[in-house]
Structure 1
Amino acid sequence: MTHIRNVRLEPALVRLIAVVLLGGMLGILNSTMVAVAIVPLSAEFDTSLNTIGWASTGFLLAVTAMIPLTSWAVDRFGGRRMWIVGLLLFLGGSLACALAWNAGSLIGFRTIQGLGAGILDPLVLVLLARGAGPARAGRVMGLMGVVLSLGPVLGPIAGGAILQSLSWRWMFLLSLPVGLIALMLAVKVVPADPPRGSQQPHSKLDVTGLALLGPGFAVLILTLTQSAERTAFAVWQVLTPLLLGVVMLVAYGVHALRKRRTPPLIDLRLFKNTSFSASVTVMTLSGLATFASLFALPLYYQEAHGKGTLASGLLVTPIGLGAALAMPLAGSLSDKMGSRGLAQGGAVVAALGGFALTQVSATTDVLLTSVAALVVGLGLGFVGAPTMGSLYRTLPGHLVPQGSSVLYMLNQLGAAIGIALVTVILKTLGDGDVMKGIHGVYWFAIGTLGVLLAATLFLPGRIGSAPGTGTPADEPQAVDAPASL
């Protein structure tokens, strides 16, 4: 008989979830909010769109480069301390951005903001996973998924609303009261976790790995961003940094697999565990499909229906809303049923919604496309929360920071790949025929979901009781800890 676990969330854990999500929401909303302000900021500072675009690109690169360092620092200094440092960096950067006097100062201050977000983003996963424990990982990741789903959708809407009635500086000033509340609550609610101390081997920073891993991923994301802006891939401005990024990551792989006294920043033996590898693969593909949809759908409303920026942003909301509705339910169910079946069902549902969007035309009623987008969001929600839950049921506690860093970096990479490929598809298929390009994007998304569906076969299945043991029969085995840990 299947063993159904019903583990309630204690008040202390509920408070921790609320406080951590409040802080985590800052970076997600602010990064997407500024994306809609590029044109007004270009006019404000009398500079080119390419130059002011670095206000967003610099933020993203700082986030990506900071994530691997955070995985080390959370063990060395403690999660609570690093969370407070991240909030202070983000708040300081926000205030400085609001006071920026030219494009260069704004780009520099946005980079400081990105460093803070690069601490907060992976720590959201770490703090919640540690607080929840394996038995409640799916439920808590489902709650976190609400913020992850709505952030990319609500950010542009909030940014557009602010720019319509207030100065661009308010995009940063409004972060201050929210951030201060998050900081004061964090001091009271986030539990102190003793750092491992300088006497532990893992406290030694892998400087070579730090110089290769974060910058390598940052260069890849920059390359994909540039290819999207240039609507071309096979040009030297894209291929040269792409080769550099690949070389840096290969060099990190060689470095990480060598035996030495200082453990690597991210231990690649994590990937020997099938469930972990499947989880991060599914989340990477999910990020690719999600951002392809979020990038293409506004273009459809603008080009085919003549909608404005704010209206088209509002019409994309059903994707985020669907995922936000599905994730808490899917995460809770995964704690009882396992992850595989739920993720497979979600992939199929998302693919059906994507198929509906391959059939739309310039005259299709907006209500029908909104329903299709809602279906895509619901399906992706049933993929995301169970998959993240399975990852944190797989990892022992001391490897959660490394696992979170891997998950976040690959999800970011998947999003960047999705946007870049959508740009190429629209240029290749949609040159002169926007509907043909939109249809091509959603056929690509369906193909991605097909690969994702295959990867879900390696996720842990139904959680049951092994005869005579009282332990979960299909619970994934924890990753072996490196000997140096």
Structure 2
Amino acid sequence: MRAQARLTARRPSVFTVVPQILDAAGRPLAASVAPAAPRPPLPSAAPPTADVGPPQGTRYRWILLVVIGFAVLGFGSLMTLVSAALGSIAEDLDTSVPTAGWVMTGLMLAMAVSTPAGGKLGDIYGHRRMFMIGMIGMTAMMIVNYWVPDIGTFIAVRVVFGLCGGMLMPSGMALLMHAFGPAERARAVGWFQFAMTGAPTIGVVAGGPMLNIFGWRGIFLLFGLIGLLGTVLAVLIVKPIPRGARVSIDVLGALLLGGGTLLVLWAITRIPTLTRSGTSLLSDQTLMLMVGGAVVCFVLFVLWERRAASPLLDLRLFRRPSFTLPLVSAACNQFAYMGAFIIVPTFLLQDGYGYSIGVAALLMVPRPGAFALASPFGGTLVTKIGARAPMLFGTSAMIGSMVAFAIGADPAGWGLALVMVGLVLSGVSAGFGSPAYQVLVANSVDDKDLGVANGMNQTVMWIGIITGIQSMLAFAGDSPSISRLQTTFLFGAVVAAFGYMAPLFATRRATRAG
């Protein structure tokens, strides 16, 4: 009875959906959501607390992991395959590659603004229910993609796919956390992260050659059928878990943040066209309206978040350098990581080297493969030596990958070998750096605010990703030359270099505070 009471008192929270973070001693940090009102004082670091294990048996835990893996497989694999087929998609739908890039950007923007709300919906209405809605929605959208007639419809369908993912991912992680319990959560999350990073590799190996045979539409249909199988398994297997506290959903905050970010992305895509045509940026009314609208959205977002009872982002946390700098550094890392993720297969391997879509997809395997292999080592390294060295190494590796891509943009000589080196360095950078950024963020707040902090971490990361994709696509243009590609990758290296802020300044301040 006492155990059951404790279980009810610590119901899974919206933000326990993010990967479980380990502190410097290797202990799991539990996450919970603070009451919506009154809002707590600015948090400070505190030791982790215990939790109560779930009633499910070992067999159910691993079956649940497999079911959730089906959802991750469709999401992660299609990310790699769509990036490889972006040129073919643009040609088939009679549009440019930068415009087709909104297929990826729209999805990620939807994920950025819907993930916190999706987790809260799981707390209110049940994580199993939201997981099922997300699974059914994602599966339906994958199948619908087979018949999209134009790029606008395709982007809209992918946005809905992202909204469904924003419901599925947090609830899926909440179900997994509850099933494995505190003693086994780190192990479960390790496998989940392996699935997240390994899914693109599996999907590309299986789906890459099929791109040449069935085309990009056929691949969506194939993964839709896989999603349908996962949905059936989820209906039969997934069990409900206790619901969390009923808190309000910050819809207005999500709309303001999403609207401002969208306007910024539109402005970014317009700037290269104006520059090439010789038009002054300040004289372009459309660009000025976009920038002005974005500023208004962000100002209103800040004003609203400061008075909202249950804000999308707790802006007070940004007062802490040990919290803010890791977020910014991780976003800069993802800016270069995902920007190159789009540029390399389409412009470099297909246009520059002349490879087919299927071959280009297979050549991308070293990146997610290195990510999957490096992630467990990165987490272990942080628990043993701290976050600073892995962050320094991760940022240096990302810069090195961009430089390797820039040199490898010229097919002559050792070009392809350098591209492969760049792909491996990108994966290793993300695998070693990501756990370190998350640990530093987690250690900068009180345990009761871990969920909020990690939710903000996810949102800022998504913003870095979508900004990187659109910025580097706009920088490269429609048909970039070798010199243009080299400049684009060096631009990514410059942005990635801002990742040194966290290991050089945030860790130093944290050490002094300790």
Into which bin does the TM-score normalised by the smaller protein fall?
0.7 to 0.9
Structure 2: runs of 5 or more not aligned: 1-22, 29-52
What residue is the counterpart of 2:299 in the other structure?
Answer: 250
Report if aligned partners of 2:24, 2:382 keep a CA contact under 8 Å in 1: no
What residue is the counterpart of 1:69 in the other structure?
Answer: 117
Q: In the alignment, residue 432 of structure 2 is paired with which amino acid?
A: F
**What is the Cα deviation at residue 264 of structure 1?**
1.9
SS state at 2:312 partner: coil
**What is the Cα deviation at residue 166 of structure 1?**
2.3
What residue is the counterpart of 1:265 in the other structure?
Answer: 312
Q: Distance in 2 between matches of 1:162 and 1:4?
A: 46
**What is the Cα deviation at residue 252 of structure 1?**
0.8
Q: Distance in 2 between matches of 1:3 and 1:118?
A: 30
Report if aligned partners of 2:111, 2:165 keep a CA contact under 8 Å in 1: yes
What residue is the counterpart of 1:319 in the other structure?
Answer: 367
Q: In the alignment, residue 279 of structure 1 is paired with which amino acid?
A: P
Match of 1:284 among 327, 331, 342: 331
Report if aligned partners of 2:72, 2:199 keep a CA contact under 8 Å in 1: no
What residue is the counterpart of 2:466 in the other structure?
Answer: 416
Query: What CA deviation, in whole Å up to 9, does each residue of 1:139-195 have, x standing for no partner?
Result: 666544445545667767766533422265433332334324434555535661313
What residue is the counterpart of 2:456 in the other structure?
Answer: 406
Distance 1:176 1:311, change over 3 A: closer
Query: Structure 1 residues 224-233 or 92-101, which shifts more?
Result: 224-233
Structure 1: runs of 5 or more not aligned: 198-202, 462-472, 478-485
SS state at 2:261 partner: helix
What residue is the counterpart of 2:397 in the other structure?
Answer: 349
**What is the Cα deviation at residue 244 of structure 1?**
1.8
Q: In the alignment, residue 254 of structure 1 is paired with which amino acid?
A: L
Q: Distance in 2 between matches of 1:94 and 1:140?
A: 27
Q: In the alignment, residue 249 of structure 2 is paired with which amino acid?
A: L
**What is the Cα deviation at residue 62 of structure 1?**
3.5
**What is the Cα deviation at residue 418 of structure 1?**
2.3
Match of 1:384 among 414, 431, 434: 434
What residue is the counterpart of 1:178 in the other structure?
Answer: 226
**In the alignment, is residue 456 of structure 1 matched against residue 503 of structure 2?**
yes
What is the aligned-residue identity percentage?
23
Report if aligned partners of 2:340, 2:489 keep a CA contact under 8 Å in 1: yes
Q: Distance in 2 between matches of 1:135 and 1:460?
A: 29
What residue is the counterpart of 1:482 in the other structure?
Answer: none
After superposition, residues 27-176 of structure 1 pair within 5 angstroms as 27-35=75-83, 48=95, 58-98=106-146, 106=154, 108-123=156-171, 143-149=191-197, 161-166=209-214, 168-176=216-224
**What is the Cα deviation at residue 288 of structure 1?**
0.9
**In the alignment, is residue 214 of structure 1 matched against residue 258 of structure 2?**
yes
Report if aligned partners of 2:326, 2:437 keep a CA contact under 8 Å in 1: yes
Q: In the alignment, residue 385 of structure 1 is paired with which amino acid?
A: P
Q: Distance in 2 between matches of 1:456 and 1:130?
A: 33
Q: In the alignment, residue 455 of structure 1 is paired with which amino acid?
A: A
**What is the Cα deviation at residue 273 of structure 1?**
4.2
**What is the Cα deviation at residue 287 of structure 1?**
0.5
What residue is the counterpart of 2:289 in the other structure?
Answer: 240
TM-score, length-normalised on structure 2? 0.71
Q: Distance in 2 between matches of 1:20 and 1:339?
A: 30
Query: What CA deviation, in whole Å up to 9, does each residue of 1:373-425 have, x standing for no partner?
Result: 31332133211233234445656676555444433332222223323443455
Distance 1:459 1:101, change over 3 A: same
**What is the Cα deviation at residue 34 of structure 1?**
4.0
Distance 1:60 1:265, change over 3 A: closer
TM-score, length-normalised on structure 1? 0.75
Report if aligned partners of 1:142, 1:385 keep a CA contact under 8 Å in 2: no
Q: Distance in 1 between matches of 2:373 and 2:212?
A: 29
After superposition, residues 301-312 of structure 1 pair within 5 angstroms as 301-312=349-360
Match of 1:205 among 230, 249, 266: 249
Distance 1:277 1:331, change over 3 A: same
Q: Distance in 1 between matches of 2:154 and 2:423?
A: 35
Distance 1:56 1:289, change over 3 A: closer
How many residues align? The count is 453
Q: Distance in 1 between matches of 2:101 and 2:399?
A: 33
Q: Distance in 2 between matches of 1:443 and 1:107?
A: 29
Distance 1:448 1:96, change over 3 A: closer
Q: In the alignment, residue 261 of structure 2 is paired with which amino acid?
A: F
Distance 1:223 1:408, change over 3 A: farther
SS state at 1:174 partner: helix
Q: In the alignment, residue 240 of structure 1 is paired with which amino acid?
A: L
